[in-house]
Chain A
């Protein structure tokens, strides 16, 4: 038992070192194509600015939507951006798996190295600069929290961390599952953009959607848990507390199931001819 724990710690340390090495490599190549790097960051910030302006414009016409004020919707959006930033930085490019790794046989290279295959794909395809969304999200949360006179309590921070953890696992799970389908289809299946669009629904109050949409976003592709439910609890609106507290559990289940599919997919992998 003690030995097992030690082994685990060694492994974790090694994996962390590998992450650092890949990160350093990534920055080196990015610095070689500097303009590319800044254009990417800039276009991402611009994208978030457009989303923000959309919310502001809507609320310049109406004081509230289905019981939610401008500041509350902003707060949801701010929270949404935190796990979204982690997802953009690390899991978004799992969509390369069907085309680049499975169809073109790049997965051969992954499988002959002594590191977990999923982890390798994640560190190889990460774009850590997109984590800039986390900062934008925190700024928006602080601003809108102040505007609605939200008074923080001690459990806000640990709660927020647990909720962010769960929400991140939901993203990781959904995208891992989608990527794994590539082992069966051997090529791109075009589901990724659709799922991405659906994930964006998570940054608005569920009360504005009809029943079926709400159901899908809660129980099928649980994107209500990456924005709305946890954010509502964090701004101390308690109508959805039950759901919000489920976030970490939903995340863990989602990722566990997805990882099983991934492992089954690897066993089916067949590479390219010769």
Chain B
């Protein structure tokens, strides 16, 4: 059994469309217009231990929704999944011991207290022994250079500094899987490359499986031999980055992805039907 095995994973949201104006708001009180949005539509996703997979898609394609189902935050509408031996949403309290999650848009650390205090609290939450804790902290410190940040409250950190601390926090319990939702969003070149180096190192050293969503294809090029592309909830491509190049015959990943988002399909990719070629 693969480490992550999701089949036919689907998430529907019922969206309530508000009517305009005061009269509209009044009408909404009595009768609401709902429509169903399929954020994720029957995707299969299988990942083996130690893989680093890039998960990309345009805004609103369903990336975050997939990640939130895999991390146990959302309950899928349909489909099955087994991650690290558990059903995420059902076995949440045991399952989350084995995963680390970083959301680029929102810190997992406590806003008002020093970073080190957040780490100590997480040590309690994940029940990490003091020796393991100290050893890992030292190790992360070496690569991420946290020592100057540890005694500052999170609200005083820059975005790049905060992201480094968030990464360390997500790994303090040595999880089998690390989920990263846009970890490099808003970071400068230097901060990005430091985070990429760290992820590579962690993956090599602990065989941590990494699932990463991003809009920065540099992340994919630097880290992920495998990429999955989702659009309007459907999986468009799931395979090696290399074969993307060979099928599209272009030299820049960005151009290839841009064409895929625009609805072009390569003729030769297995399982994907040939779509319209050329601009409409």
Contacts and interface: CB of A to CB of B under 8 A. Distances in A.
Contact of A114 (B75, B94, B182): B94
A127 to B, nearest CB: 14
A115 B73 CA distance: 13
B120 interface: yes
Interface in B113-166: 113, 117, 120-121, 124-127
B105 A274 contact: yes
Main SS class of interface, A: helix
Contacts of B117: 25, 28
B96 A113 contact: yes
Interface in A86-125: 105, 107-109, 111-117
B84 interface: no
Contact of A269 (B73, B106, B182): B73
Given A29-B113, A112-B101, A113-B96, A267 B121 contact: no
Interface in A234-274: 267, 269-271, 273-274
A267 B97 CA distance: 20
Query: Which of the listed residues A25, A112, A117 has the most CB atoms from chain B within 10 Å of its own CB?
Result: A112
A21 B120 contact: yes
B127 A270 contact: no
A201 interface: no
Contact-size category for A: 20 to 34
A112 B125 contact: no
Interface of A: 14, 17-18, 21-22, 25, 28-29, 32, 105, 107-109, 111-117, 267, 269-271, 273-274
Given A21-B120, A114-B92, A270-B13, 20 more contacts: A21-B121, A21-B124, A25-B113, A25-B121, A105-B106, A111-B96, A112-B71, A112-B73, A113-B125, A114-B93, A114-B94, A115-B93, A115-B125, A116-B93, A117-B92, A267-B75, A267-B89, A273-B60, A274-B59, A274-B64
